[in-house]
Structure 1
Amino acid sequence: MPSPTADHLESFLGNRRLSQQIAFILEVEKLKTVLRRTLLLDRSRVENDAEHTWQLALMAMVLSEHSREKVELVRVLKMLLIHDIVEIDAGDTFAYDTVLAASQAERELKAAERIFALLPEDQAKEVRSLWDEFEAKASAESRFANAMDRLQPLLHNFFTEGGTWSAGGITAKSVERRMQPIGMASDTLGDLSARLIALAVEQGILAPAPQEA
């Protein structure tokens, strides 16, 4: 069922700005239906995007002291709350799917233009700016937010004895490359990610990097 439009809501709310805000809130509820590959720690099912978003925000609140640079936590939290909203239209792109990755930026940009435009113009500009900042990784806040986005599935994969790493072709080298933003944002968390990858290889739950020819 499609979400109510701002025009429909305004017909009985009588307030254009509020109608746009409510329309956006109802639309992004769909994030609860976007499934990811990451297993819950009890391995009963995969998580959805809304659950992922909540956990990243909580991680940022708890772990921000480990950021290499001083960050404005509220700005980090805002980025994390909106960073995956585009997946309502674009879908979740598996981190190691090189085929889908080729069209990811185009699909997500189109989604950003549609979904954020549901908000009043000033809020739409703010949210779009935050999303662009997250994607660019050019500020301390965006780097730390991206580190949280990479660390969470790493933790889940390690503590579910392989999780999504069991997909064909995933090696330690691929995971190390994927986890680089963690070390860019935090020495402590970068060391943690490197240790978990090494332990995963030792325990046989992650394939070692192929030997160089």
Structure 2
Amino acid sequence: MNERFLRQMDFIREVDKLKHIVRRSYLTDGSRRENDAEHTWHIALMASVLEEHISGERPDLLRVLRMLLIHDLVEIDAGDTFAYDVQGIVGKFDREKEAAERIFAILPEDQGKEMMELWLEFEEGTTTEAKFAISMDRLQPLLHNYATGGKAWLEHGVTSSQVLARIDSISVSVPEVAEWARELILDAVRLGYLLP
């Protein structure tokens, strides 16, 4: 096989490591924590299903899906940073950018450059595609926490104001979903799944 194919296969083997990165969120049955690969599959599927609820300009769904598939690959090197870990967030972008540069450099140059651009687009969060991708990434842990009676929220003392701030970005591209999510948060507080 040619060098291009071999580099692509090296990348595919490398990103399999995403299956070993364990997140703080639990599976919806509460049996164990999910891994990054499971999270990635779930939010990509969510984007496909919930696209019809987008308000305003429709994103390029293929671009959204590609963005979602690669956005957490950096955690292979940088690890998962808990969304509510104030200290862990310090320097997060720099750690993840360094990881992105290493991981995407495994690919042939043109593909590596394209993936780096997609990753940066997600991180900047300014395009229609990135805004929708980010909204799916924020919504999914909320669903998992609600389904598990707030298991990860309660373990880490997360408050409703923290979760509300985290999901605020959902209202940019899917405001009806954001309103539903806010109601879910209020219900989680009422049920004792989430600190007020």
- Other-structure match for 1:10: none
User: How many Å separate the matches in 2 of 1:93 and 1:82?
Assistant: 16
SS, match of residue 118 in structure 1: coil
1:92 aligns with 2:80: yes
| Matching residue's letter, 2:32 | R
CA deviation after TM superposition for structure 1 residue 173, in Å? 0.6
- Other-structure match for 1:24: 11
Percent identical residues? 53
User: How many Å separate the matches in 2 of 1:94 and 1:46?
Assistant: 13
CA deviation after TM superposition for structure 1 residue 169, in Å? 3.5
SS, match of residue 158 in structure 1: helix
Matching residue within 22, 42, 47 for 1:35: 22
User: How many Å separate the matches in 2 of 1:40 and 1:171?
Assistant: 20
TM-score (norm. length: structure 1)? 0.89
User: How many Å separate the matches in 2 of 1:145 and 1:160?
Assistant: 24
Of structures 1 and 2, the one with the larger relative CO (CA 8 A, separation 6+) is 2
Two-structure CA RMSD over aligned residues (Å): 0.9
User: How many Å separate the matches in 1 of 2:151 and 2:52?
Assistant: 28
Which ranges in structure 2 are unaligned for 5 or more consecutive residues? none
CA deviation after TM superposition for structure 1 residue 76, in Å? 0.5
Structure 2 contact 29–147 (Cα < 8 Å) conserved:
no
1:136-161 deviations in Å (ceiling 9; x for gaps): 11111100000000000000001110
- Other-structure match for 2:53: 66
Residues 1:96 and 1:139: Cα distance change in structure 2 (over 3 Å): same
| Matching residue's letter, 1:53 | T
User: How many Å separate the matches in 2 of 1:178 and 1:207?
Assistant: 15
If you compute each CA radius of gyration, which structure gives the higher value, 1 or 2? 1
1:202 aligns with 2:178: no
CA deviation after TM superposition for structure 1 residue 163, in Å? 2.2
User: How many Å separate the matches in 1 of 2:156 and 2:12?
Assistant: 38
| Matching residue's letter, 2:110 | D
| Matching residue's letter, 1:22 | M
| Matching residue's letter, 1:54 | W
1:94-137 deviations in Å (ceiling 9; x for gaps): 01001110021111011001000101011011101100100111
1:49 aligns with 2:43: no
- Other-structure match for 1:183: 171
1:162 aligns with 2:140: no
Q: Give the 4+ runs in structure 1 shifted more than 2 A.
A: none
User: How many Å separate the matches in 2 of 1:22 and 1:107?
Assistant: 25
TM-score (norm. length: structure 2)? 0.97
* Mapping for residues 103-118 of structure 1, pairs under 5 Å: 103-118=91-106
SS, match of residue 185 in structure 2: helix
- Other-structure match for 2:108: 120
User: How many Å separate the matches in 1 of 2:58 and 2:88?
Assistant: 35
| Matching residue's letter, 1:55 | H
